[in-house]
Amino acid sequence: MSDTFFKPVSGFDLPRFAGVPTFMRLPHVDKAHDRYGDIDIGLVGAPWDAGTTNRPGPRHGPRQLRDASTMIRAEHPVTRVRPFEATNMADLGDIGPNPASLDDSLKRFTEYFQSLKGDGIRPLMVGGDHLCTLPALRGVAADGPLGMIHFDSHTDLYHSYFDGQMYTHGTPFRRAIEEGLLDPKRVVQIGIRGTMYDSEDIDFAAGVGVRIIRIEELFRRGTEDVMAEAREIVGDQPIYVSYDIDFVDPAFAPGTGTPEVGGPNSFQAIEVCRHLYGLNILGADLVEVSPPFDQTGGTAFLGASIIFELLCAMTASR
Ligand code: MN
Ligand code: MN
């Protein structure tokens, strides 16, 4: 059975520093490929950061993460999951944004993810800034509102920015709830911290039933306990997992636009993902890696490692 799956290039056949970089060294497969229809999980790049309100750069994330992901091997060290032999996945390439138009880019991304949903492919989107998650949800949630486990130092639940601008990386989940893409009572946000403009987002969350687990609570209770509650909140029904790299402390992930101190270390960053197994994950993302601020490349390497963890969880989700 596993012989029919797309396989990463093995580091024993071609060393990992050589070759054309794709996500996880998987084949780049487009819609014209005769085995496109066999794909279950599609790794797709979203090189777009027009929603960024402060320091830009995540548009360069997918390319950098492809390169960093060549470091990843075939087997999970703890769970022993071998995702590439358990589920068929491929690098679907990038969605082309229109860098001169936020509206047109949103439209292109929305159409892309709706079409992917029609093809029966579960996306693992590699950002891009967090606004990219809104069009992803418009596709993935086509059959009804989803639950969501969201790792971030920010809620991204604000109403608007800069004199009424509704579409930024600080607003995607507000829009997603308004559009009926998320069931707020099945949404949990973990790692929230940092100075705030005001508490409008927190008040909105309380009003609609979004559960916010601040960083203080995560550190006080520990990963296992908090993730058990998160699993309880989302239940057995379909969910989306959204992972903003600024969930992680900037000591470990400085390459992002809106870092906040006092966060999880790189082990805790991957540990949370190991509590996602068995959930009904219809889509996931890793967003906000900004290569221009990633002087050592360490943020991209951590990002690639998180993507591998998410792939293992998506593999173990059915
Ligand atoms: Mn975010
Ligand atoms: Mn954030």
Residue 261 sits in a domain whose CATH number is 3.40.800.10
Give residue 85 CA to ligand 2 midpoint distance, Å: 33
Query: Which strand ranges, in their side-by-side order, compose the sheet holding 146-151?
Result: 89-94, 41-46, 122-127, 281-287, 239-244, 146-151, 182-192, 211-214
Residue 1 has pLDDT above 60, yes or no: no
- Which range of residues forms the domain containing residue 115? 4-315
**pLDDT tens track for 214-268:** 999 999 999 999 999 999 999 999 999 999 999 999 999 999 999 999 999 999 9
Extract the tokens encoding 284: 């996931």
**How many structural domains compose the chain?**
1
The answer for residues whose C-beta is within 8 angstroms of residue 295's C-beta and 6 or more apart is: 254, 255
Give residue 241 CA to ligand 2 midpoint distance, Å: 14
- Tell me the C-alpha to C-alpha distance, in Å, between residue 57 and each of 29, 52, 244, 288, 297: 26, 9, 14, 8, 14
- Tell me the C-alpha to C-alpha distance, in Å, between residue 278 and each of 27, 155, 199, 239, 304: 27, 25, 34, 11, 22
Give residue 256 CA to ligand 2 midpoint distance, Å: 9
What is the pLDDT at residue 3? Answer: 64
Q: Distance (Å, rounded) from C-alpha 7 to C-alpha 78?
A: 21
Q: Distance (Å, rounded) from C-alpha 220 to C-alpha 217?
A: 5
Give residue 33 CA to ligand 2 midpoint distance, Å: 36
Give residue 155 CA to ligand 1 midpoint distance, Å: 7
Cα torsion angle, 51, 56, 59, 63, sign? negative
Query: Mean pLDDT for the chain?
Result: 96
**pLDDT tens track for 13-26:** 999 999 999 999 99
Token pair 């699993």: residue: 231
**pLDDT tens track for 28-87:** 999 999 999 999 999 999 999 999 999 999 999 999 999 999 999 999 999 999 999 999
Residue 2 has pLDDT above 60, yes or no: no
Give residue 25 CA to ligand 1 midpoint distance, Å: 27
pTM of the model: 0.98
**pLDDT tens track for 110-164:** 999 999 999 999 999 999 999 999 999 999 999 999 999 999 999 999 999 998 9
Give residue 288 CA to ligand 2 midpoint distance, Å: 8
Cα torsion angle, 303, 307, 312, 317, sign? positive
Q: Distance (Å, rounded) from C-alpha 189 to C-alpha 152?
A: 7
**pLDDT tens track for 157-190:** 999 999 899 999 999 999 999 999 999 999 999 9
What's the one-letter identity of residue 244? D
